[in-house]
Amino acid sequence: NIEKANVDIAMTEDTIYSEKETPYTAAVSVHLKPGYDKLSKKEIKGIVFLVSRAVGSRLKPENVTITDNYGNIISDFDDELDKAKTEYTIIEYRNKLEERARVRMLNDIRAGLERIYSSDRIQVLRLNMEFNWDKISEEQEEYTPIELEKDNPATPYSERKIKDSLVISEKTTDEKFQGHGWNPEGPAGTEGNTPPGYKASDDQFAKYDKNEQIKNHAVNKTMRKIDRAPYDISRVSVAIAIDGQQNLPKLQSGEFDLDPAKEPVQTPLTSEQLKKAENIIKKAINFSEARGDQVAVENIMFDRSRYWDELRSEFRKKEQIKKILLAALIGVIALFVGFILFRAISKELERHRRAKEEQLALEQQRMREAALRAAEEEGIDVELSIEERARLELQENAVNLARERPDDVAQLLRTWLAEE
Protein backbone atom coordinates (compact mmCIF):
# COMPACT_ATOMS: atom_id res chain seq x y z
CA ASN A 1 0.00 0.00 0.00
CA ILE A 2 3.08 2.30 -0.24
CA GLU A 3 3.57 3.85 -3.66
CA LYS A 4 6.84 5.71 -2.99
CA ALA A 5 9.21 6.33 -0.07
CA ASN A 6 12.15 8.71 0.46
CA VAL A 7 14.84 7.87 3.05
CA ASP A 8 17.32 10.54 4.23
CA ILE A 9 20.07 9.47 6.66
CA ALA A 10 22.25 11.97 8.54
CA MET A 11 25.66 10.40 9.21
CA THR A 12 27.74 12.55 11.57
CA GLU A 13 31.49 12.17 11.82
CA ASP A 14 33.18 11.30 15.08
CA THR A 15 35.63 13.73 16.66
CA ILE A 16 39.01 12.67 17.91
CA TYR A 17 38.47 14.61 21.11
CA SER A 18 35.57 12.41 22.31
CA GLU A 19 35.23 8.69 22.82
CA LYS A 20 31.47 8.89 22.51
CA GLU A 21 29.93 7.94 19.15
CA THR A 22 27.47 10.39 17.63
CA PRO A 23 24.28 8.52 16.67
CA TYR A 24 22.84 8.65 13.18
CA THR A 25 19.36 9.97 12.42
CA ALA A 26 16.98 9.13 9.59
CA ALA A 27 13.88 10.69 8.06
CA VAL A 28 11.49 8.57 6.00
CA SER A 29 8.70 10.05 3.90
CA VAL A 30 6.09 7.60 2.59
CA HIS A 31 3.50 8.20 -0.10
CA LEU A 32 0.48 5.88 0.05
CA LYS A 33 -1.25 4.43 -2.93
CA PRO A 34 -4.68 5.83 -3.87
CA GLY A 35 -7.39 4.28 -1.70
CA TYR A 36 -5.23 3.88 1.44
CA ASP A 37 -5.69 6.40 4.24
CA LYS A 38 -3.01 5.40 6.75
CA LEU A 39 -0.57 2.75 7.85
CA SER A 40 -1.18 0.53 10.83
CA LYS A 41 0.98 0.75 13.93
CA LYS A 42 2.65 -2.58 13.15
CA GLU A 43 3.51 -1.43 9.64
CA ILE A 44 5.06 1.81 10.96
CA LYS A 45 7.12 -0.12 13.50
CA GLY A 46 8.22 -2.47 10.75
CA ILE A 47 9.51 0.44 8.63
CA VAL A 48 11.34 1.91 11.65
CA PHE A 49 13.15 -1.32 12.49
CA LEU A 50 13.85 -2.07 8.83
CA VAL A 51 15.67 1.25 8.34
CA SER A 52 17.45 0.96 11.71
CA ARG A 53 18.76 -2.57 11.06
CA ALA A 54 19.76 -1.71 7.51
CA VAL A 55 22.05 1.13 8.61
CA GLY A 56 23.62 -0.46 11.68
CA SER A 57 24.00 -0.09 15.41
CA ARG A 58 24.57 3.68 15.25
CA LEU A 59 21.02 4.29 14.02
CA LYS A 60 18.64 3.60 16.89
CA PRO A 61 14.92 2.99 16.22
CA GLU A 62 14.03 6.04 18.30
CA ASN A 63 16.10 8.22 15.93
CA VAL A 64 13.99 7.27 12.89
CA THR A 65 11.13 9.63 12.02
CA ILE A 66 8.41 8.73 9.51
CA THR A 67 6.09 11.25 7.86
CA ASP A 68 3.27 10.91 5.37
CA ASN A 69 2.95 12.75 2.06
CA TYR A 70 1.34 15.69 3.93
CA GLY A 71 4.29 16.09 6.31
CA ASN A 72 2.47 14.67 9.36
CA ILE A 73 4.62 12.61 11.72
CA ILE A 74 3.07 9.16 11.93
CA SER A 75 5.82 7.37 13.93
CA ASP A 76 5.28 9.41 17.08
CA PHE A 77 2.85 7.14 18.95
CA ASP A 78 2.82 6.41 22.63
CA ASP A 79 4.81 3.22 23.30
CA GLU A 80 4.47 3.72 27.04
CA LEU A 81 0.72 3.29 26.80
CA ASP A 82 1.19 0.06 24.86
CA LYS A 83 3.66 -1.17 27.45
CA ALA A 84 1.22 -0.31 30.24
CA LYS A 85 -1.56 -2.18 28.44
CA THR A 86 0.71 -5.16 27.92
CA GLU A 87 1.73 -5.18 31.58
CA TYR A 88 -1.89 -4.90 32.67
CA THR A 89 -2.82 -7.83 30.39
CA ILE A 90 0.02 -9.90 31.82
CA ILE A 91 -0.99 -9.08 35.41
CA GLU A 92 -4.62 -9.94 34.70
CA TYR A 93 -3.58 -13.21 33.07
CA ARG A 94 -1.39 -14.08 36.05
CA ASN A 95 -4.19 -13.28 38.50
CA LYS A 96 -6.52 -15.63 36.63
CA LEU A 97 -3.95 -18.42 36.69
CA GLU A 98 -3.29 -17.88 40.41
CA GLU A 99 -7.02 -17.91 41.18
CA ARG A 100 -7.48 -21.14 39.21
CA ALA A 101 -4.59 -22.72 41.08
CA ARG A 102 -6.11 -21.65 44.44
CA VAL A 103 -9.56 -22.98 43.52
CA ARG A 104 -8.06 -26.26 42.32
CA MET A 105 -6.06 -26.68 45.52
CA LEU A 106 -9.08 -25.73 47.65
CA ASN A 107 -11.17 -28.36 45.86
CA ASP A 108 -8.45 -30.96 46.43
CA ILE A 109 -8.37 -30.16 50.15
CA ARG A 110 -12.16 -30.31 50.48
CA ALA A 111 -12.39 -33.52 48.43
CA GLY A 112 -9.86 -35.21 50.72
CA LEU A 113 -11.52 -34.10 53.96
CA GLU A 114 -15.13 -34.65 52.87
CA ARG A 115 -14.43 -38.37 52.51
CA ILE A 116 -14.18 -38.46 56.31
CA TYR A 117 -16.16 -35.44 57.56
CA SER A 118 -19.35 -33.84 56.29
CA SER A 119 -19.01 -30.58 54.38
CA ASP A 120 -20.68 -28.51 57.13
CA ARG A 121 -17.96 -29.55 59.60
CA ILE A 122 -15.08 -28.19 57.47
CA GLN A 123 -14.11 -24.53 57.33
CA VAL A 124 -11.04 -23.35 55.39
CA LEU A 125 -9.97 -20.27 57.33
CA ARG A 126 -6.97 -19.36 55.21
CA LEU A 127 -5.34 -20.54 52.00
CA ASN A 128 -2.36 -18.46 50.93
CA MET A 129 -0.29 -19.35 47.87
CA GLU A 130 2.80 -17.42 46.88
CA PHE A 131 3.81 -17.63 43.22
CA ASN A 132 7.16 -17.08 41.58
CA TRP A 133 6.81 -15.79 38.01
CA ASP A 134 10.56 -15.55 37.30
CA LYS A 135 11.25 -17.14 33.95
CA ILE A 136 14.21 -19.48 34.34
CA SER A 137 16.13 -21.21 31.57
CA GLU A 138 19.20 -23.15 32.65
CA GLU A 139 21.66 -25.64 31.21
CA GLN A 140 23.03 -28.47 33.32
CA GLU A 141 26.10 -30.59 32.65
CA GLU A 142 26.24 -33.69 34.82
CA TYR A 143 29.03 -36.27 35.13
CA THR A 144 28.14 -39.67 36.54
CA PRO A 145 30.02 -42.96 37.02
CA ILE A 146 29.91 -45.56 34.28
CA GLU A 147 27.46 -48.34 35.02
CA LEU A 148 29.00 -51.69 34.10
CA GLU A 149 26.13 -53.86 35.33
CA LYS A 150 22.59 -52.81 36.20
CA ASP A 151 20.73 -53.78 39.32
CA ASN A 152 18.11 -56.51 39.15
CA PRO A 153 14.98 -55.26 40.99
CA ALA A 154 13.73 -58.83 41.47
CA THR A 155 16.52 -59.65 43.93
CA PRO A 156 16.75 -58.32 47.50
CA TYR A 157 20.39 -57.31 47.04
CA SER A 158 22.11 -55.00 44.57
CA GLU A 159 24.14 -56.33 41.63
CA ARG A 160 24.92 -52.85 40.31
CA LYS A 161 28.56 -52.36 39.37
CA ILE A 162 30.00 -48.98 38.54
CA LYS A 163 33.38 -47.53 37.67
CA ASP A 164 34.43 -43.93 38.06
CA SER A 165 35.94 -43.72 34.58
CA LEU A 166 37.36 -45.70 31.66
CA VAL A 167 40.75 -45.14 30.03
CA ILE A 168 40.24 -44.47 26.33
CA SER A 169 43.86 -43.53 25.42
CA GLU A 170 47.26 -43.74 27.12
CA LYS A 171 50.77 -42.45 26.32
CA THR A 172 53.95 -43.40 28.26
CA THR A 173 57.42 -41.95 27.59
CA ASP A 174 60.52 -42.95 29.64
CA GLU A 175 64.02 -41.65 28.71
CA LYS A 176 67.26 -42.17 30.67
CA PHE A 177 70.82 -41.16 29.72
CA GLN A 178 74.03 -41.45 31.77
CA GLY A 179 77.74 -40.75 30.87
CA HIS A 180 79.44 -38.54 28.24
CA GLY A 181 78.15 -38.03 24.78
CA TRP A 182 78.89 -35.98 21.72
CA ASN A 183 76.60 -33.44 20.18
CA PRO A 184 76.28 -33.63 16.42
CA GLU A 185 78.45 -30.95 14.83
CA GLY A 186 79.55 -30.08 11.29
CA PRO A 187 79.79 -27.45 8.66
CA ALA A 188 76.23 -27.98 7.47
CA GLY A 189 74.09 -25.03 8.16
CA THR A 190 75.05 -21.87 9.88
CA GLU A 191 77.48 -21.60 12.73
CA GLY A 192 75.97 -22.44 16.09
CA ASN A 193 75.08 -19.75 18.53
CA THR A 194 76.97 -21.38 21.41
CA PRO A 195 80.00 -19.32 22.32
CA PRO A 196 83.36 -21.10 21.87
CA GLY A 197 84.13 -20.91 25.54
CA TYR A 198 81.12 -23.07 26.45
CA LYS A 199 81.39 -25.56 23.61
CA ALA A 200 83.73 -27.91 25.41
CA SER A 201 81.52 -28.20 28.46
CA ASP A 202 78.42 -28.68 26.33
CA ASP A 203 79.34 -32.30 25.65
CA GLN A 204 79.72 -33.27 29.27
CA PHE A 205 76.46 -34.83 30.62
CA ALA A 206 76.38 -36.27 34.07
CA LYS A 207 72.78 -37.70 33.92
CA TYR A 208 69.55 -37.28 31.89
CA ASP A 209 66.07 -38.55 32.95
CA LYS A 210 62.64 -37.99 31.36
CA ASN A 211 59.29 -39.62 32.40
CA GLU A 212 55.98 -38.70 30.67
CA GLN A 213 52.60 -40.43 31.25
CA ILE A 214 49.36 -39.25 29.66
CA LYS A 215 46.00 -41.03 30.26
CA ASN A 216 42.67 -39.88 28.83
CA HIS A 217 39.65 -41.01 30.88
CA ALA A 218 35.99 -41.04 29.81
CA VAL A 219 32.94 -40.65 32.13
CA ASN A 220 29.19 -40.45 31.60
CA LYS A 221 28.23 -36.93 30.61
CA THR A 222 24.66 -35.64 30.51
CA MET A 223 23.65 -32.29 29.05
CA ARG A 224 20.26 -30.84 30.03
CA LYS A 225 18.54 -27.66 28.99
CA ILE A 226 15.68 -26.86 31.37
CA ASP A 227 12.98 -24.24 30.87
CA ARG A 228 10.87 -23.72 33.98
CA ALA A 229 7.07 -23.67 33.94
CA PRO A 230 5.27 -20.32 33.52
CA TYR A 231 5.03 -20.08 37.30
CA ASP A 232 6.21 -21.90 40.37
CA ILE A 233 4.50 -22.16 43.76
CA SER A 234 7.05 -20.83 46.19
CA ARG A 235 5.03 -21.29 49.39
CA VAL A 236 1.65 -22.58 50.63
CA SER A 237 -0.03 -21.78 53.96
CA VAL A 238 -3.28 -23.50 55.01
CA ALA A 239 -5.37 -23.07 58.15
CA ILE A 240 -8.44 -25.30 58.58
CA ALA A 241 -10.96 -25.69 61.40
CA ILE A 242 -12.89 -28.96 61.82
CA ASP A 243 -16.00 -29.16 63.95
CA GLY A 244 -16.45 -31.93 66.50
CA GLN A 245 -19.53 -34.12 66.72
CA GLN A 246 -22.54 -32.24 68.10
CA ASN A 247 -26.09 -33.44 68.57
CA LEU A 248 -29.15 -32.81 70.68
CA PRO A 249 -29.72 -35.09 73.68
CA LYS A 250 -32.18 -37.91 73.14
CA LEU A 251 -34.98 -39.29 75.24
CA GLN A 252 -35.33 -42.94 76.20
CA SER A 253 -37.76 -43.35 73.31
CA GLY A 254 -35.02 -42.35 70.87
CA GLU A 255 -36.53 -38.97 69.97
CA PHE A 256 -34.65 -35.70 70.36
CA ASP A 257 -35.05 -33.82 73.60
CA LEU A 258 -36.31 -30.39 72.52
CA ASP A 259 -35.86 -28.74 75.88
CA PRO A 260 -33.94 -25.46 75.19
CA ALA A 261 -32.44 -25.56 78.68
CA LYS A 262 -30.46 -28.72 77.86
CA GLU A 263 -27.12 -28.22 76.09
CA PRO A 264 -26.20 -30.24 72.99
CA VAL A 265 -23.88 -33.22 73.40
CA GLN A 266 -20.39 -32.31 72.06
CA THR A 267 -17.63 -34.81 71.28
CA PRO A 268 -14.25 -33.27 70.27
CA LEU A 269 -11.84 -34.86 67.81
CA THR A 270 -8.93 -36.88 69.10
CA SER A 271 -5.30 -35.98 68.41
CA GLU A 272 -5.04 -39.00 66.13
CA GLN A 273 -7.96 -37.79 64.01
CA LEU A 274 -6.41 -34.32 63.75
CA LYS A 275 -3.10 -35.86 62.68
CA LYS A 276 -4.82 -37.85 59.95
CA ALA A 277 -6.60 -34.73 58.71
CA GLU A 278 -3.28 -32.86 58.65
CA ASN A 279 -1.66 -35.66 56.61
CA ILE A 280 -4.54 -35.53 54.11
CA ILE A 281 -4.09 -31.78 53.67
CA LYS A 282 -0.33 -32.18 53.21
CA LYS A 283 -0.91 -34.72 50.46
CA ALA A 284 -3.42 -32.41 48.77
CA ILE A 285 -1.06 -29.40 48.65
CA ASN A 286 2.14 -31.39 47.93
CA PHE A 287 3.62 -30.23 51.21
CA SER A 288 7.30 -29.29 51.11
CA GLU A 289 9.12 -28.34 54.26
CA ALA A 290 12.03 -27.03 52.18
CA ARG A 291 9.97 -24.22 50.68
CA GLY A 292 8.44 -23.30 54.06
CA ASP A 293 4.89 -24.67 53.71
CA GLN A 294 2.66 -24.42 56.78
CA VAL A 295 -0.42 -26.47 57.68
CA ALA A 296 -2.57 -25.82 60.75
CA VAL A 297 -5.56 -28.04 61.65
CA GLU A 298 -7.59 -27.25 64.77
CA ASN A 299 -10.69 -28.77 66.33
CA ILE A 300 -13.16 -25.95 67.05
CA MET A 301 -16.74 -26.48 68.15
CA PHE A 302 -18.80 -24.44 65.71
CA ASP A 303 -21.62 -22.25 67.02
CA ARG A 304 -24.72 -24.19 66.01
CA SER A 305 -27.25 -22.45 68.29
CA ARG A 306 -29.22 -21.19 65.30
CA TYR A 307 -29.26 -24.69 63.85
CA TRP A 308 -30.48 -26.16 67.13
CA ASP A 309 -33.21 -23.51 67.35
CA GLU A 310 -34.32 -24.29 63.81
CA LEU A 311 -34.26 -28.01 64.58
CA ARG A 312 -36.33 -27.52 67.74
CA SER A 313 -38.74 -25.28 65.85
CA GLU A 314 -39.04 -27.85 63.09
CA PHE A 315 -39.75 -30.63 65.59
CA ARG A 316 -42.35 -28.46 67.31
CA LYS A 317 -44.03 -27.77 64.00
CA LYS A 318 -44.07 -31.49 63.24
CA GLU A 319 -45.58 -32.23 66.64
CA GLN A 320 -48.20 -29.53 66.12
CA ILE A 321 -49.00 -30.91 62.69
CA LYS A 322 -49.35 -34.38 64.20
CA LYS A 323 -51.73 -33.07 66.86
CA ILE A 324 -53.75 -31.12 64.28
CA LEU A 325 -53.98 -34.17 62.02
CA LEU A 326 -55.00 -36.35 64.97
CA ALA A 327 -57.67 -33.85 66.04
CA ALA A 328 -58.90 -33.56 62.46
CA LEU A 329 -59.04 -37.36 62.18
CA ILE A 330 -61.01 -37.62 65.42
CA GLY A 331 -63.35 -34.88 64.21
CA VAL A 332 -63.90 -36.66 60.89
CA ILE A 333 -64.59 -39.94 62.68
CA ALA A 334 -66.97 -38.20 65.09
CA LEU A 335 -68.72 -36.49 62.19
CA PHE A 336 -69.03 -39.78 60.35
CA VAL A 337 -70.40 -41.55 63.42
CA GLY A 338 -72.81 -38.65 64.09
CA PHE A 339 -73.97 -38.79 60.46
CA ILE A 340 -74.62 -42.52 60.73
CA LEU A 341 -76.50 -42.04 64.03
CA PHE A 342 -78.49 -39.19 62.51
CA ARG A 343 -79.48 -41.35 59.54
CA ALA A 344 -80.45 -44.23 61.81
CA ILE A 345 -82.47 -42.00 64.12
CA SER A 346 -84.11 -40.24 61.15
CA LYS A 347 -85.11 -43.58 59.63
CA GLU A 348 -86.46 -44.78 62.94
CA LEU A 349 -88.49 -41.61 63.45
CA GLU A 350 -89.78 -41.80 59.91
CA ARG A 351 -90.76 -45.42 60.43
CA HIS A 352 -92.61 -44.56 63.62
CA ARG A 353 -94.38 -41.67 61.90
CA ARG A 354 -95.49 -43.86 58.98
CA ALA A 355 -96.55 -46.59 61.37
CA LYS A 356 -98.72 -44.12 63.27
CA GLU A 357 -100.19 -42.71 60.07
CA GLU A 358 -100.93 -46.19 58.76
CA GLN A 359 -102.45 -47.22 62.08
CA LEU A 360 -104.60 -44.08 62.11
CA ALA A 361 -105.66 -44.63 58.49
CA LEU A 362 -106.39 -48.27 59.24
CA GLU A 363 -108.59 -47.36 62.20
CA GLN A 364 -110.43 -44.80 60.12
CA GLN A 365 -110.93 -47.37 57.41
CA ARG A 366 -112.23 -49.91 59.86
CA MET A 367 -114.65 -47.39 61.33
CA ARG A 368 -115.90 -46.51 57.82
CA GLU A 369 -116.25 -50.15 56.87
CA ALA A 370 -118.12 -50.84 60.08
CA ALA A 371 -120.43 -47.94 59.31
CA LEU A 372 -121.02 -49.28 55.77
CA ARG A 373 -121.84 -52.75 57.05
CA ALA A 374 -124.24 -51.32 59.59
CA ALA A 375 -125.93 -49.32 56.84
CA GLU A 376 -126.23 -52.37 54.59
CA GLU A 377 -127.74 -54.41 57.39
CA GLU A 378 -130.33 -51.71 57.99
CA GLY A 379 -131.04 -51.50 54.24
CA ILE A 380 -129.72 -48.08 53.75
CA ASP A 381 -128.16 -47.39 50.39
CA VAL A 382 -124.79 -45.85 50.68
CA GLU A 383 -123.06 -44.51 47.67
CA LEU A 384 -119.37 -45.29 47.58
CA SER A 385 -116.84 -43.32 45.73
CA ILE A 386 -114.69 -44.88 43.06
CA GLU A 387 -111.67 -44.88 45.33
CA GLU A 388 -113.55 -46.58 48.13
CA ARG A 389 -114.89 -49.24 45.78
CA ALA A 390 -111.38 -49.84 44.43
CA ARG A 391 -110.02 -50.08 47.96
CA LEU A 392 -112.76 -52.57 48.97
CA GLU A 393 -112.05 -54.69 45.92
CA LEU A 394 -108.29 -54.55 46.67
CA GLN A 395 -108.91 -55.63 50.27
CA GLU A 396 -111.19 -58.48 49.23
CA ASN A 397 -108.59 -59.65 46.68
CA ALA A 398 -105.85 -59.44 49.32
CA VAL A 399 -107.92 -61.43 51.79
CA ASN A 400 -108.72 -64.05 49.15
CA LEU A 401 -104.99 -64.20 48.12
CA ALA A 402 -103.94 -64.64 51.77
CA ARG A 403 -106.39 -67.51 52.12
CA GLU A 404 -105.36 -69.23 48.91
CA ARG A 405 -101.54 -68.58 49.00
CA PRO A 406 -100.50 -67.81 52.56
CA ASP A 407 -96.77 -68.63 51.99
CA ASP A 408 -96.37 -66.06 49.22
CA VAL A 409 -98.09 -63.39 51.26
CA ALA A 410 -95.84 -64.11 54.25
CA GLN A 411 -92.71 -63.80 52.04
CA LEU A 412 -93.98 -60.50 50.64
CA LEU A 413 -94.51 -59.14 54.15
CA ARG A 414 -90.98 -60.18 55.16
CA THR A 415 -89.56 -58.34 52.13
CA TRP A 416 -91.44 -55.16 53.04
CA LEU A 417 -90.28 -55.31 56.62
CA ALA A 418 -86.65 -55.82 55.51
CA GLU A 419 -86.84 -52.79 53.20
CA GLU A 420 -88.11 -50.64 56.02
Q: What is the pLDDT of residues 186-224, one digit of tens each?
A: 555 555 555 554 444 555 555 777 788 887 777 777 777
The CATH architecture of the domain made up of 2-77 is 2-Layer Sandwich (3.30)
Q: Supply the pLDDT for residue 19.
A: 63
- Over its length of 420 residues, how does the chain's per-residue pLDDT go in tens digits? 788 888 988 887 766 655 677 888 999 999 888 887 788 888 888 999 999 989 888 888 889 999 988 888 888 776 666 677 778 888 888 889 888 888 988 888 888 888 888 888 888 888 888 888 877 777 777 777 877 788 888 888 888 888 777 777 778 888 777 766 555 555 555 555 555 544 445 555 557 777 888 877 777 777 777 766 667 788 999 999 998 888 878 777 777 777 777 777 888 888 898 898 899 888 888 888 888 899 999 888 888 878 878 877 887 888 889 899 999 999 999 999 999 999 889 888 888 888 888 788 778 777 777 776 676 666 665 565 666 667 767 777 777 777 787 787 788 777 877 765
Q: Supply the pLDDT for residue 155.
A: 84
C-alpha 68: how far from its chain's center?
56
Residue among 275, 289, 287 at smallest CA distance from 105: 287
Q: Supply the pLDDT for residue 324.
A: 92
- Give phi and psi for 151, each to the nearest 5: -80, 140
Output the CA torsion sign for 33, 37, 41, 45.
positive
**Integer Cα distance of 11 and 281 in angstroms:** 68
**In this predicted model, what pLDDT tens digit does every residue of 279-337 receive, in sequence order?**
988 888 888 888 889 999 988 888 887 887 887 788 788 888 989 999 999 999 999 99
Domain boundaries, the chain: 2-77, 80-148+161-177+216-250+270-302, 317-377, 385-419
Q: Supply the pLDDT for residue 117.
A: 85
Decide if 257 contacts 200 (C-beta within 8 A).
no
